[in-house]
Structure 1
Amino acid sequence: MASITLDAERRVHADTGRVRVAAVDVLRSLGFQITSEMATVVEARRGSAVRSAMLLPDQVPLAARLHLVPADGDRTSVSLHLTDRAVSVIALGVQEPYVAAFQTALLALDRALTGLDPAAGAAGFPQPRWWARAPRADNLARHHETGQRLVGGVAARVNERLSGGRRSTGPSLWEGIERIVFRSPAGFLAMDMVTARTLLAIPVMIGSRRDGVPAQLASDVARLAAVVEGRLGAGGLGSVEVAVTEEDRPAFEFLHRQFGIRSQLPVRTLCTCRDCRQTKVVNLDLKRLRQRKNRLKTIASVVQTTYENDGEPNPFLIFGSVFQRSKIDPDFVCARCESTVADEQPVTFCPRCGDMRTESVLDTCSECGHDFEALAADLPAWAGTPPPPLAPPPPLAPPTPRPSVVPPMPTAPPMPTAPPRPSCGICGGTYPVLWSVQILDGPHPRPLTVCATTPRCSPPSIAPPARIRT
């Protein structure tokens, strides 16, 4: 749980696509890494918990979530949620750097929105809402405790994090959803979350690059994306259903065809230098393979150098080993001016002439006239028809007469069962060692068993934690 948060509401007279592009540019200019960009939801993060634990708050860990909702007419409602990623009080014991970082981010966003709607900026935006879990505390007193918790987190998740484990398939609010079933009067179509996220990336491209896209089609696609992302934002587990109305069905079928076309073409990223506009094509698959190789080297280094003579992990050796193996070179370096900042956009290539296609909607190649729609000619829009209503059940047979006295069934003695093994009260996992802590539930203390393997599973305790061996 976050220790300090900021929530701000803004309403501007501008198109949702333009607002999203401006907001993403602001986050990137502040050093945020965009972790998820959808039509109505943008999530980003910046900084490192390791840096905070080493008392280097030059880039404090922040998380940002933007929610953009089309309002009346061509207005857009923007909700900004900034958090400290649960480390400001737990790790550092201070809040001042985070308050300053929140104010800087909000001021930059307000300036960008004022550029889109000067009247809204002149009228003044509402004051943000602040929330803090605990008062300020001395940072040095918590430093060693934080290091131990981070060590536990490294030990528990080193394989997933450093060897290229599963990647996020959408905003954090979508966690737990594995499949979406789209239902319309024409039938239904089921797809996994990876495919659905790729499908929902097309409205983002259309909103950012509307050249050649009819205004009505762009509006219909944006409305459909808002409906789908709103349903996913409501949460769920396993499979969820999204109703596609007859009005939204043409937009959905259009997105499905575009997805079918792009799934058969190579995917590259075009990086455009912000300073000199030099372009560079990047293959993300090759980049991930190189990152995986570097992470596997880091695993070997951490395992070999982070244990003391008694076998206990040392947090400072872990930090030193990670810093030695951490990637220092930036992701992008311009070959012309050596700038390290660039704008990125997905591109592909025409299978006939090899021309690079940068448009958001693929229909016909302007160089050779190749028909991209032919790639999805045999793609079924709907995988089936709606299931027929259930047939009424057959009439029940008359009950069989029973004897007036029924002999009792023999009862077997209950099988002995092992006592349940204690588990973490936050993540639910079982570990060889757990900790008993006392947390505040409103004004009253409450006991809680935690694993203390991650900052999330290490809530502040008002009493000394007690070790529990399982």
Structure 2
Amino acid sequence: MASITLDAERRVRADAGRVRIAAVDALRSLGFQVTSEQATVVEARRGSVVRSAMLLPDEVPLAARLQFAAAAAADGNGTTVAVHLTDRAVSVVALGVQSPYVTAYQNALFALDRALTALDPEAATDFPQPRWWTSAPQAETLARHHQTGQRVVGGVTAMINDRLSGTPRRTGPSLWSGVQGAVFHSRAGVLGLDHSALAALLAIPVMMSSRPDGVPEQLGAGVARLAAEVEGCLAAVGFGVVDVRIGSEQRPVFEFLYRQFGIRSQLPVRTLCTCRDCRQTKVVNLDLQRMRERRRRLKLITTVVRAGHGKNGEINPFAMIGAFLQQGKVEPDFICSRCESTAADEHPVTFCPGCGDMRTEGALISCGECGYDFEALVAGLAVWGAAPPPVPPVPPVAPPPPVAPPRPAVPPMPAVAPMPAPPTEPPVAPPVAPPAASPAVPPGFGPPPEGFTPPPPPTCGICGGSYPVLWSVQVLDGANPRPLTVCRTSPHCSPPSVIAPVRMPS
């Protein structure tokens, strides 16, 4: 949990695309590294836990999240920016200081306000004051040093497990960390995408808003609205497989967006780095960079772990910090070959299959050099698929009829001589028997009392329907599993379960 938090809200009279570009440029000018950039949310980080020991405002670890939403202004459409700055739970818990973080927050908010004021000069007069949330230090100096060492050891251990296990990193904002994918529904059919494909699909509207060359204005606005609605659904649910409804008026825009996703999936992906000082460009292969970075980090992990183990077998966190500072990365990721600047703007690019020309536009429609038709790459691409048939209910198995036990054989009666006829007597009227008493009803049986309401039959806990076959699953509610009854007749009613689904007795 963060110990210092700053929340601010800014409203400017400009479209969301221009506001997002200006805000991202402001964060990068402050040294932030953008970890996720979508149409409605941008997340960035700066600094590290080790560098925070120097207590410099430009080195303390900060995390920024910006959320953009369309808002109606007085004289036209505008955009509301929600700014959220945190210290990544380092300032008070580990170091017990707040002053450098306050200065860093003020500098970051000032840079964002200056970038937004350039778009709407009159908006600066209406900017409300930010809201601060702080927690007081609760540990002495020795305890703080111990917590710092434990945090460093835990971070190195988690990094070792992450690097050596080979698990892929999830992309997208932290608000979608629990999303496993999405299923898009329309009248034409359904389309399912996993988490990685969904993140790649939602990256295209960002590229189109940054470089709208060759895209009709109406189409670009429709793509921006569709991306905002989809990202809103993901942020609202935030867990499992999200169902997204695509209306009839949005279906052409979504199909165009999915074809662009198919086109870029078949072309090489490169990153164009443009120096901010001299505008020199450099093409970078991110896959090659990741391979080199992975080898460097594995070597760093091995060195740090060896240096951290003392002679008595215990881990010395301060020895690990020293080894980390000695073996840490010194050179930046980008160095301009012309002016040796280390600041650059990054944009994804690709190359034309016809002439090899580098294409920098956000939407790939046709090549401006040779006229190559990019739509031909996805001529036979089927966007929508048939909805999966519902799971047929399993008919209940009737129990076999009860079998009566065989009757024992009765031996024949022995033959006896006939009895003589009794003497004739006058008939006597038979006595009247008393009425038979009703048998005692055991407790718990018999008709229900008046006002009794039978319990309702079990239903699906998601759609509320009643089905002959239901299943019991265990879904995660935060960090704890909870039981849930589902019908499993659709992807929406088939949430991921931490145990194997168990069929409930009918």
Structure 2 length normalisation: TM-score?
Answer: 0.75
- Contact persistence 1:53–1:91 (CA under 8 A): no
For the 8 Å contact 2:94–2:145, the answer to whether it is kept is: yes
Say if 1:269 and 1:282, in contact at 8 Å, map to a contact too: yes
Partner amino acid, structure 1, of 2:115: A
Distance 1:57 1:18 in 2: 29
- CA offsets, 1:74-128, max 9 Å, x none? 210110000010111111101111111111111111111111011111x230111
Distance in 2, Cα, partners of 1:298 & 1:250: 50
Q: In the alignment, which residue of structure 2 is the partner of 1:458?
A: none
Change over 3 Å in CA distance of 1:137–1:393 after alignment to 2:
closer
- Sequence identity, in percent? 67
Equivalent of 2:99, from 96, 101, 106?
96
| Contact 1:30 1:105 survives alignment (8 Å) | yes
Maintained 8 Å contact 2:271/2:283: yes
Partner of 1:216: helix, strand, or coil? Answer: helix
Residue in 1 that maps onto 2:239: 237
Asked whether 1:8 is paired with 2:8, we answer yes
Matches of 1:109 and 1:137, distance apart in 2: 34
Deviation of the 1:322 alpha carbon: 1.3
Q: Output the amino acid matched with 2:230.
A: V
1:84 aligns with 2:94: no
For the Cα contact (< 8 Å) 2:180–2:195, is it kept in 1?
Answer: yes
1:284 counterpart = 2:283: no
User: Partner of 2:200: helix, strand, or coil?
Assistant: helix
Contact 1:268–1:347 (Cα < 8 Å) also in 2: yes
Match of 2:210 in 1: 208
Out of 246-255 and 389-398, give the one that drifted further: 389-398
Q: Alpha-carbon deviations, 1:256-311, whole Å to 9, x = none? A: 00010011001000111111111110000110111011011112212321111111
* Distance in 2 of aligned mates of 1:390 and 1:300: 51
Indicate how the Cα distance of structure 1 residues 401 and 74 shifts in structure 2: closer, same or farther if over 3 A, else same: farther
Question: Residues 354, 300 of structure 1: CA spacing in aligned structure 2 closer, same or farther, 3 A cutoff?
Answer: same
Distance 1:222 1:400, change over 3 A: farther
Between the aligned partners of 2:393 and 2:153, the Cα distance in structure 1 is 60
Change (3 A) 1:157 1:275: closer
Taking the aligned partners of 1:278 and 1:21, their CA distance within structure 2 comes to: 20
For 2:58 and 2:204, locate their aligned partners in 1 and report how far apart those are by CA, in whole Å: 36
- The 1-side partners of 2:276 and 2:83 are apart by 25
* Equivalences for residues 41-440 of structure 1 within 5 A: 41-53=41-53, 58-72=58-72, 73-121=76-124, 123-135=125-137, 142-161=144-163, 165-382=167-384, 384-387=385-388
Conservation of the 8 A alpha-carbon contact between 1:94 and 1:138: no
Deviation at 1:234, TM superposition (A): 1.8
Query: Which residue type is aligned with residue 80 of structure 2?
Result: S
Paired residues of 1:64 and 1:82 also in contact (CA < 8 A): yes
Aligned equivalents of 1:214 and 1:177: distance in 2?
32
AA matched with 1:126: P
In structure 2, relative to structure 1, the CA distance for the partners of 1:179 and 1:402 (3 Å cut) is farther
How far, CA to CA, are the matches of 1:374 and 1:199 in structure 2? 19
The answer to whether the 8 Å contact 2:179/2:240 transfers is yes
Aligned to 1:23: 23
Which AA in structure 2 matches 1:70? A
Shift of 1:352: 1.4
Using the alignment, how far apart are the partners of 2:97 and 2:393 within structure 1?
66
Give the direction of change, closer, same or farther, for the CA distance of 1:402–1:86 in structure 2 (3 Å limit): farther
Q: Distance in 1 between matches of 2:158 and 2:340?
A: 39
**Partner residue in 2 for 1:420:** none
User: In structure 2, what is the Cα distance between the partners aligned to 1:242 and 1:14?
Assistant: 28
Number of equivalent positions: 406
Letter in 1 for 2:170: S
Aligned partner of residue 317 in structure 1, secondary structure: helix
1:380-423, CA deviations, whole angstroms, 9 ceiling, x for partnerless residues? 111x2335678899899999899999xxxxxxxxxxxxxxxxxx
TM-align CA RMSD: 2.7
**Which has the greater radius of gyration?**
2
Q: Distance in 2 between matches of 1:206 and 1:391?
A: 44
Letter in 2 for 1:37: E
AA in 1 matched with 2:47: G
C-alpha change, 1:155 and 1:286, in structure 2 (3 Å) is same
- For the residue of structure 1 that corresponds to 2:232, the secondary structure is helix
Structure 1 residue 59: Cα displacement: 0.7
Provide TM-score, normalisation by structure 1.
0.81
The 1:119–1:57 alpha-carbon spacing in structure 2 relative to 1, beyond 3 Å, is closer
Native 8 Å contact 2:334 2:342 kept in 1: yes
3-state secondary structure, aligned to 1:110:
helix
Relative CO higher for 1 or 2, CA cutoff 8 Å, sep ≥ 6? 1
